[in-house]
Amino acid sequence: MELLKQRILKDGEIQDGGILKVGSFLNHQIDIGLMDEIGRAFYELYKNDGVNKIMTIEASGIAIASMTARHFGVPVVFAKKAKSLNLGSQVYTSRVHSFTYDRDYDVTVDKRYLTKKDRVLIVDDFMARGKAMAGLLEICRKAGAEVCGVGICIEKGFQGGGDALRAKGVRIESLAVLDRIENGQIVFR
């Protein structure tokens, strides 16, 4: 998606260690006009797939899911990062490893809000190693929900998570794929 790539080049910040920060427009402050175009792009990619629910994970996926759901006219469900070990039997859970914080956490969805009737499009802001996405896919599997595919704003291609899931047959559509960051410059795939 050219609009997103241009915005990344204009306003993305590259920190030490080649980390791209997009907090000025995507996941802390949010440009809602851009977000609406992102939602429209995911709609164009998946409009013929019978999607009846948009899924994401808190927190930064929620704006993307909301603006995508608006184009589809379907509800959102967002997975929660569990604060408690006492989750009860009313939720689907999956254990996820966070490399950012170097710890495991559980993601959960209430069983009533994800069922075998659902045809799900999963969206998120970033995909790196794909660990959070694997957790969401596992929750859909447990619920018996059909995953139509995945929509990612920015895929860090060099971390391999997207390609590993593609190799397993998951449809992953990324609006911008970073191939590498070279001398402080972003090179898209």
Q: Which residue has the tokens 């009313």?
A: 90
User: Applying CB under 8 A, which of residues 19, 44, 75, 104 lies at the interface with a second copy?
Assistant: 75
Site string for a second copy, 27-66 (x = CB under 8 A): -xxxxxx-xx---------------------xx--xx-xx
Decide if residue 101 touches a second copy (CB under 8 A).
Answer: yes
Bridge partners for 121 per DSSP: 54, 149
Decide if residue 76 touches a second copy (CB under 8 A).
Answer: yes
d(CA 30, CA 53): 23
User: Applying CB under 8 A, which of residues 4, 38, 67, 128 lies at the interface with a second copy?
Assistant: 67
Q: What is the dihedral of CA 172, 101, 143, 57, to 10 degrees?
A: -60
Give the number of residues written for the chain.
189
Decide if residue 4 touches a second copy (CB under 8 A).
Answer: no
Decide if residue 144 touches a second copy (CB under 8 A).
Answer: no
d(CA 138, CA 127): 16
Three-class DSSP labels, 144-164: CCEEEEEEEEEEEHHHCHHHH
Q: Which CB sits closer to a second copy, 105 or 158?
A: 105
Residue 58 beta carbon to a second copy: minimum distance, rounded to whole angstroms: 4
Instruction: Please return the burial class of 16, using the count of CB atoms within 10 Å of its CB with bins 0-12, 13-18 and 19+.
Output: exposed
Decide if residue 80 touches a second copy (CB under 8 A).
Answer: yes
Residue 56 beta carbon to a second copy: minimum distance, rounded to whole angstroms: 10
Residues of this chain that interact with a second copy (CB under 8 A) are 23-25, 28-33, 35-36, 58-59, 62-63, 65-67, 69-70, 73-78, 80, 83, 101, 109-110, 112-113
